[in-house]
Structures are given as structure tokens and as C-alpha cells.
Structure 1
Amino acid sequence: MKQTEILGLFLAFSFLIFGISCLFAPKMKKEFERYRLADKRRLTGILQLLGSAGLFFGIYLSAALSLTASAGLALLMLFGVIVRIRIRDPWPAVLPALFYALLSAYLFYDLLDF
């Protein structure tokens, strides 16, 4: 298994868990209220699940699907970083979103065929 596939699977499983949590966990409902984005929680969860599915299926079916999913997830997590900075979260709280944004962006870059 290549490094790209391992990273893709790691991100796919992570965003599967994040998406389910975003849709169903009461803690996430409170977090989105704290972010002042309660109306965007379901959309965020659905986008995370779609990104996860794109990575899972893209590994075996289409590099273009993985490329699109990784770009979308990188953007989604970049917005997450921006939101946490905007609400003045401490840096340790910003780091997980930044970590996933960078990993998703790296996967996107790695999948580009130069």
C-alpha cells in the first residue's frame, strides 16, 4: 500500500467519524452554536461524509474523485481554522483543524499528476 493510499484511508476514516459526530453528537450541536454556525452543522457533517466517501471510493476507482474530495476537505478544514480564529479559540484548539487542513492539502498536492 502506497503512502498516498494510507493517508487517504486515514483521512477517510477520520472524516467518517467527524461527519457522524457532526450530525448526531449533542456536543457538536453545542460547538456549532458556540461557533455561531448552528445552521451550518448538518451541511458540514454531510460534506465531511461526502469527502470521506470520495476518499474511500477514489482510492480504488478514480484518482480524480480523491483529488476532488481532498481539495474539498482541505477547504472545509481551512474554514474551520478561520472560524476558530474568528471566535478567538486558543491555539491548541485550532491545531486539530489546521492539522487536518494541511493533511488534506498535502494529499491533494500528492495526487496532482505533474
Structure 2
Amino acid sequence: MNVLHVLIYFSGIAFLFFGITCLFTPRMRMEFIRFGLSKLQRQITGVVQIIAAIGLLLFEFNTLLAVISAAGLSLLMLLGFIVRMRIKDSVYESSPAFVFMILNAIIAFKLWLLL
């Protein structure tokens, strides 16, 4: 297993977790209220995270699907980072969104080169 595979599995598993918590935990319900986002936006975010995570984890079977999934997660995290900046969260609170944005952009680019 190479480094790219490790990064893909890390991101895929993380976003499965993030998506599930986004849909089902009271903490994330409160966070989305703090972000100024609606219940529907929270639900869409959670579903997108789960679907993209699955697409990413299927990279060995469908590289193009994994590229689209990683690019979508990168875009989602860019939007998350913007929301956190808009509500004036600290750099520490905002950094996971930024790190996952960069990580998924790298994954998308590396997988794109394999097509």
C-alpha cells in the first residue's frame, strides 16, 4: 500500500464518520445552528459527505468516481472553511476544514494523473 492509498482510506473513513455525525448527533445540530445554516443544509452536507466518502473508498474500482468524490469533498471543505471564517472561528477551529480541503485536492489531483 502506498502513501496515496493511505491518504484515500484516511479521508474516506473520516468523511464516513463526519457524515454520520452530521446527520445524527446533537452536537452537530448545534454547530450548524451556530454556523447560521439550516437543518436541510446540515442533512445535505451529511449525505454528501457519506456518498463522497464511499466514492472515494471505491477508488480501486472506479478512479474517475474517486476523483469526483475527492474534488467534491475538497470543495465542501472550502465552503466549510469560508463559513468558519465568516463566523470568525479561530484558526485552530477552522484548520480541520482547511487541512481536509488540501488533502482531498491532492488526492483528486494524484488520482486524476492515474486516469
TM range (shorter): over 0.9
Q: Match of 1:113?
A: 113
Partner of 2:43: 42
Check if 1:26 corresponds to 2:26: yes
Specify every segment of 5 or more residues in structure 1 that has no aligned partner in the other structure, as ranges.
none
Count of aligned pairs between the two proteins: 113
With normalisation by structure 1, the TM-score equals 0.95
Q: Aligned partners of 1:91 and 1:61: how far apart in 2?
A: 37
Seq. identity, %: 38
- Residue in 2 aligned with 1:4? 4
Match of residue 57 from structure 1 = 58
Amino acid at match of 2:22: C
**Cα root mean square deviation, aligned:** 1.0
Conserved 8 A contact 2:64-2:112: no
Deviation, structure 1 residue 113: 1.8
> For the residues of structure 1 that align with 2:66 and 2:5, how far apart are their CA atoms?
10
Deviation, 1:71, is 0.2
Q: Deviations over 1:49-103 (max 9, x none)?
A: 0110001112x20110110000000000000000000011111111011011110
Greater than 2 Å deviation, 4+ residue runs: none
CA–CA separation in structure 2 for the residues paired with 1:80 and 1:62: 27
